[in-house]
Structure 1
Amino acid sequence: MNNHPIGIFDSGIGGLSIWKEIHSLMPYEKTIYLADSINAPYGQKTKQEIVELCIKNTEFLISKGCKIIVVACNTATTNAITYLRDNYSVPFIGIEPAIKPAALQTKTKAIGVLATKGTLSSELFHSTSEMYAEDIHIVEQIGAGLVELIESGNLLSKELDELLESYMQPMLANNIDYLVLGCTHYPLLIPKLKNILPKDVKIIDSGEAVARQTLKVLKAKNLTANDSIEMLNDNYLFYNNKEVEIMKSILDNKYQISFLKF
C-alpha cells in the first residue's frame, strides 16, 4: 500500500474532467491537482515550450510526494510524455484523443476530432490515426478560442455558442457519427454540443479510460492506497496559478483551492 497522492496537471481547469473520473473510481486515493492556467492554452505553444512547462509541473508534483503523475492535457501528452518518461522515475499516465474506439465503431466511416493545434499537429496523433483509422475519414478541427473562453468562465457566452456551431458545421457536412474530444477542457462543453449535434452523433472523451489506466498502473506497481482510508476533503488538494474562483465553481466550492505563485 502507498498512501502518497496521485499528481494531476493540466494547462488549466480542463483536467478537472479527468480528476472527477479518477476520484469517482478511486475516492480513497489522495490527489494533488495543478492548474497551470497562467500559461493556458498549451495548444498554441511550440513543442519545446510545452516540454519546459511540463517539466516545471512535474517537478512541483514530485516535490509534493506524488507517486504517479497524470498528464491531464492532450497537448502536453502528445508533445512531452516521451520526454517525461525518459527523464523521471515516477510513472506517467498520458491522454490522447480516443481515435481507436471511434474508428472501430463508426458506421458512416467519418469521425470528427475537435482538438488544439498542438494535439492535431503532433506525431503521436498522426501515428494513432494511421494505426486505427486508415480507411476512416477524419474531420479535424482546431478549437481555437475555446480554452480561453472556458478558462475565463465564459461558458454561457454567445461567442462560445457561435464558435462551437461553426466548428461543427464541416463535421456534419461530412456525415460524422462520432465526435472525439481531443482536449480535457472540452467535456465541459458537452451539454452545448448535444444541443448542436444530431442525437445519433456520439461524443467520446478519454476521462473514464484514463482513470481505469491509472488504477491499472497503480495496482501493477503496488502503489494503491489503503481503500479504508477516511475520505476527507483535505485529501484532495488543488493549486491554480491564476484564478481560483472559476475552479471553485466547477468543483461546487466543496474543496480547498490554493493560489500558487508558480
Structure 2
Amino acid sequence: MDETQIKQIIERQPLHGTALLDPRCKILLLVCIGFVSYFLAGEVVSLALMLVYGLFIALGNGGKWAAKMIITYIVVAYLNALLRYVQVPVLSVIMSVFGVTVLKLIPIVMMGLWILQTTYMDDLMVALQRMRLPQAVTIPLVVMFRYIPTLRIEYRQIRSTMDIRGISDTVWKRVCHPLATIEYILIPLLMRCLKVTDELAASGTTRGLELECKRYALRPIRFAWPEIVVSLLGILFLVGLLFIDQTQIGKIILWRV
C-alpha cells in the first residue's frame, strides 16, 4: 500500500471536529471532569458542565449522544428534586444519595463513552506508548476500551435471541420480575463476559499487543497546538466552575417542583 492509498483511507474516516483530537487530550479532559464533577455542589455550575462538554462532544460525532445524556441529566435532576417531599426516614436518605451519585456520574459517562466511540485502538496504543507508560498500564487500558463495546454487542445479541423466542424485555418487566431478568439477561451476559475475556486476550496476543517495539498508526498522532489549546481551555473552564461554585451563583436552585 503506497502513501496515496494510505492518505485516501485516512480522508475517508467518519470522524471530524473534536473527535480527531489526540487520545491523550481526551483522556486528560475525562480525568479532569471526573475530578471536578464530584466537587461541584451547585446546580447551575453542574448544568453548565453538562452543557459545555455536551457541546464539545456534539462537535465531534456525538450530537445525538450528548442530547440524550443532557436530557437524562435534567430528568434525573427533577426526580431528585421530588425526593425532597419523601418523608420516609431511611428510604429518603438512601434515594437522595443515590440520585446525587447518578448526577455526578452522568458527565463522566457521557465523556467516557464518547471517547470509546471516537478513538481507534491503534491511535490509543501509540499515544500511550509515547507517554512512556509501562505495558502493565497500557495493555489493561486497551483491553478495557475493546471490552466495553464488545459487551454492548453481546447484550444486543441476547435481546435479539429473546425476541426470537417471544420473550419481551422492557423496563417495567425488569422491575416487576427481577428473577426473570437475572435468568434471561444477566446469567447469559455473565457467561459471555468470561468467553469474551479469553477471546480478547487471544486477539491481543495475535496482534502483538505484548510487543515492546515502536508502534505506528494510520493517522498522525501528535499533541499539537489544537490539543494544547483545548486542554488549557478545558482546565480553565473547570477551575472557573469550582470558583463560581463558591459564590452566590452556586447557591441558586434550578430544579424546583
Structure of higher RCO (CA pairs closer than 8 Å, 6+ residues apart): 2
Higher strand fraction (1 or 2):
1
TM-score by length of 2: 0.24
Higher helix fraction (1 or 2):
2
TM-score by length of 1: 0.24
